Each structure stands twice: as C-alpha cells, then as structure tokens.
A = this chain, B = another copy of it.
C-alpha cells in the first residue's frame, strides 16, 4: 500500500501544486546542505570517499564536493558522506533523520546525468525528501530505537524517489525502484560518533541512484519490497504506520524540517537554546547543571566524557559546559580534541547531569542551572516553536557565510534562488 501510494505521488505530483512557502523551505534546506557540503570536504570521511571516487574514475556525469566529476552513483556516495561529515545539516524529527544529505545528492547527481534544469532538480528533491520523511514516519520510532539510522534507511527510498522522478519514471517504475532499493537500504546507529554515520548518508544517496539506474536497465525485484512479508519494513522493526501517508501531496512534511544553529547533534539543540534564553552570564559560578530530555536521546547524544571533537558533538555534558563557559557552539572549530581535555571545561562538564522524561517531546528540553549560592533557575525550550520563514532565511544565510564565506554563500544562493539555471554546480564548490 505504501509503495503504491508513494509511487503515484512521485510519478505524478506536479510542481505547480506545491505551495510557495514549501518551495522556499526546500531552497533554504538546499542552501544549508550545499554550505555543509562545501565546508565538509576536508573531513577524513569525505577525503576517504573522494579518494575512492578518483581512483575509480569513470564517465564525468556529476560533480563532486572537493572537485572532479564521476558517475552519478559514485558522486551520490561521495557527496552524501561529505555533506553529512560535519553533522550540521537539517533534521526532521518525526522522520528521525537528516533528509537533505540523503536526497539532494541523489537528485543532483541524477539531474546532472540527465541534463535536467534546476526546476526539475528542486521538485525531484522535494518529492524525495517528502518520501524519505513519510517512509521514516511509516517505519516509526521502533525502527530507530532498534538501532537503524533512518537517514540511511528511509533516506534510500527518498533518494530513489528523487532519482526516479528525474528519470521520468511512471508509477510502476517508481514502485520497482522502491522494491529494489528495499534489499539494499541500510545504516546502523552503531556507527554514531564515527565516520560511519556520514557514510550512512552517502550509501542512502548512492543506493537510490543505483536502484533507479538498474530499473532503467530492466532489473525488476519485488515491487513491494518495502512492505511485503519479509520486506524491508517487517524485517527492520518497522511499525508500518499507514497514517504516515495522510495528506500526501496536500500537507508537506518538508515544512516542518529543523535546521541546525549549533554544530552538534540535533538532540542537544533544545537544551542549548534553553541555556541561550536563560540570560545567564558565562562568568557566573555554576554549581551544577541538570538537563532533562526525551529518553530517545539518552542512547544518541549522551556521551559522558568524550575525548575528541566528534564525541563532543554527541554529549550533553560537553555542550552545556561549552555554552556556559562562552565557547561558540555554532562554530565547527569549537568542538576540538583540545577542548575535551581543557581543565575548566572538564570540571564543569563533570557537574552536568542528564535525566530522561518521557513526558517531553524529542524537540523539548528542560535545563536547571544551580549556582554556588544555591539559587536555581529553570529554562525550557521547544524546537517545534515556529520560526518565521524570513528569520529562518536570515539565520541560514548567516550560517552559510560562517561555513563557506560570504562570496561562496552568495554564489550558492544565487544558483539555488534561480532554478532556471543548469544543475551543474562545479564552479560553485
């Protein structure tokens, strides 16, 4: 049922039916993704994938972050891993994943391969992102709790959707693409805190492109590989929540994507925003900090005493100490190995305690800061509180400037804001 519904949506949804605000959100996510990708090229995971692609060579179909052009399937792998390398890209909390880094790369690589313009690229990416979120919600929380990384798993279906749309597949072919990618989709949370996490984004993007290419070449697997008995959902703790499909094509889950304004795991952001709103000065003597968060985050970003910058990205205790001591949690460079060993920081970190409360949503956090004089203040933040589109644009453009500099950020936005341009973006990256 889900395959048939999504396949019809991907094959047939016309661009003119999409609200302007949704298209604008797509472009903001595209800017955010592209800036993260450009900024991510020197990360080890990006370098490893890039080296693999250059070793292999092949027909110059699609550009790579970091330079070069390679076949679309490989470009999607490299670019997906590269743009998730900093873990600074967008999140959809109901999907429980990072939609852009799985989908944009598949869409972009395939758009370059087929010579589509930016209008087609952006619409295909939107359908792919919407698909990945819907599949993520359909798989549900058990899937994530069991250990699967929706960015890689649901993301592969989103990447497949984008690639299939750019091929101009009919609904039957889109279903075949979903059915085939179902046996290929993968990605484990056991990789969190390692290069394997961004790799999961790359494999999602690559799997989607590969499945579409194979279907175009006549391969047919089980077209219900997603929901069939022993299909992807049933074998991967999928809830199969058909409510995930409600309003498809009318209500866009793209609209509820969250963007990161701190350079760490999204599970930490509500607590950081709360401290930011507390009005506390960083010079105060803090006796202890108590963070209360949704239980899901306890296995994701609650590293107690990380020793390197990557670990700090997944640690309430680290980021609470960082923000109170005035380290900029929005700057990539703040999350350093050196800071993990900083005496003052470690001393404060060890006075941070983390608690879970199932009554909170995954986008909410409560922080109690107790000073040496015994006085305490409680602050609360909900990431679901809407941000006006204009404010979001301002914050994302500022973030892009901080990531890649003003000139490149402007060039990226010009490329994105005028979708009539070619999709080849080699000069921009």
Contact = CB atoms under 8 A, between A and B. Distances in A.
A130 to B, nearest CB: 24
Interface in A214-252: 214, 217-222, 224-225, 228-232, 234-236
B186 A184 contact: yes
Interface in A159-204: 179-180, 182-191, 193-196, 199-200, 203
A44 interface: yes
Contact of A190 (B195, B219, B228): B228
A221 B44 CA distance: 11
B179 A183 contact: no
Nearest to A231: B190
A423 interface: no
B213 A184 contact: no
Contacts of A221: 191, 194-196, 199
B49 A214 contact: yes
A7 interface: no
Given A179-B196, A182-B190, A219 B49 contact: yes
A188 B199 contact: no
A348 B35 CA distance: 66
A51 interface: yes
A47 interface: yes
Interface in A338-357: none
Taking residues whose C-beta sits less than 8 angstroms from the other chain, chain A's interface range is: 35 or more
A40 B236 CA distance: 32
Interface in A241-297: none
A19 interface: no
Nearest to A71: B56
Contacts of A222: 190-191, 193-194, 196
B48 A217 contact: yes
Interface of A: 44-45, 47-49, 51-52, 55-59, 61, 71, 73-74, 146-149, 152, 179-180, 182-191, 193-196, 199-200, 203, 210, 213-214, 217-222, 224-225, 228-232, 234-236, 299
A308 to B, nearest CB: 12
A195 B219 contact: yes
Nearest to A145: B230
B56 A214 contact: no
Contact of A189 (B45, B56, B146, B230): B230
Given A48-B217, A219-B48, A188 B57 contact: no
A59 B52 contact: no
Nearest to A189: B230
B199 A183 contact: yes
Contacts of A224: 190
A196 B220 CA distance: 7
Given A147-B230, A147-B231, A199-B214, 6 more contacts: A183-B188, A183-B200, A183-B203, A184-B186, A186-B186, A190-B225
A199 B219 contact: yes
A185 B196 CA distance: 13
A249 B236 CA distance: 34
Contacts of A200: 183
17 contacts: A44-B218, A47-B218, A49-B219, A52-B213, A55-B213, A57-B58, A58-B58, A149-B183, A152-B183, A182-B190, A183-B203, A188-B231, A190-B228, A194-B221, A195-B221, A199-B221, A235-B236
A195 B217 contact: no
A56 to B, nearest CB: 4
A149 to B, nearest CB: 8
A51 B217 contact: yes
Nearest to A193: B222
A219 B44 CA distance: 7
Nearest to A148: B235
A59 B59 contact: no
A49 B216 CA distance: 11
